[in-house]
Structure 1
Amino acid sequence: MPEPEKHTAETPGGSPGEHVVRPLDPRSLRGLAHPLRIQLLRALRRQGSATASQLAERLGESSGATSYHLRQLAAHGFVEDDPERGKGRERWWKAVPGGTVFDESLYRNEDPEIRGAVDVYLHEIASIHTQELNTYLGTRNDWAQKWLGASDMSDFTLRLPPAKLRELSEKMHALVEEYRTAPEQDAPDAERVRVHLHAFPQHEG
């Protein structure tokens, strides 16, 4: 199923063979489309298992809020208990392995609640992308020169019909996926690399 907009994130420590992508349907989108829930899931995916209190401190929220929203994420299958860490009094959470993909049929859903959830989800993902890029730019001098030369912040303007834009997006996704299992991921100087792909129409003038 082709998707013009795709948001995926991997759980740290997962092997390439474990990578799965879960399409967001109306029910799961409602369960995820909250700024704090998206931040909680992102934190667990990037930094590994944590308790509600640890996540509250990290995100500047109350532990009551993080506990509630973690339970909601669990009810929709995005997070689960971490049995390897949950030996104390406090509950440990981990992200369910894999990523999420935005199903374009959600754009056509007639339920106003779903359309509102679509707006929340897409704007939050856009905000995260902006935050990540700004963080890199603010800390770029902390990286070795070879990283500065290898990183990219380009934009292009094309004239395409929707079908060709879809084709371009699918080809870019396929190319990125080729690098997911590259043997170089185990190289001594390998680091986590974030790749943002934005492609959208724009009125002229």
Structure 2
Amino acid sequence: MKKIYLFFMGSFDDPLLILGPGDIMWIFFHIACVFAFAGTTPIVAYQLWMFVKPGLQPQERRVTLAYIPGLFILFIAGLGFGYYFVFPNLLNFLINLGKDMMVTSFTAEKYFDFLIKTTLPFGIAFELPLVMMFLTSIGVLNPHSLTKLRKYAYFILVIIASMISPPEFISHISVAVPLILIYEISIILSKVVFNRRRKRQRDINMKGKSI
């Protein structure tokens, strides 16, 4: 647990404060939850696949199974993006914002709460393009509907960003902008899958007519 703790501390060298013995248990519990959530993502995805498998066609089953490894990889990539890029830059910006006016010290609870709220949403958000691709591949979604819903999606993403990020404006923007970019990437990938699916269906129809 000590090595994991030091890993999460990263380049932040200042010692963290605790206000009571219970804070130590709270920190260890939340660190364990993050690792457990990351480690069980592929298992949860596989269980969901087993649940929907009986209702899918053979082609849909193959497509669905192919997405499961990607869910885990994108989740880890999202956590890495949040931890190595968003979190340190946002933390340094907020610290330097009041550096000449006040002495900054963090409790361990506040530090890890800020860390989790800044990184975990990106682990979940990075899976959005893959989910959109999957739903497009089985015909549930299409890029045209995603484009029409763009302004509503932006509004919802901004609300989500304000709920999951630390309670100040800079954090909201730092989380909302990447979420919006991920949504746009999802639309692009959905278009690719939709065009391939339509082309494949057209080829099947052409073969049927030739027979």
TM-score, normalisation: structure 2: 0.28
TM-score, normalisation: structure 1: 0.28
Please identify which structure carries the higher strand content. 1
Please identify which structure carries the higher helix content. 2
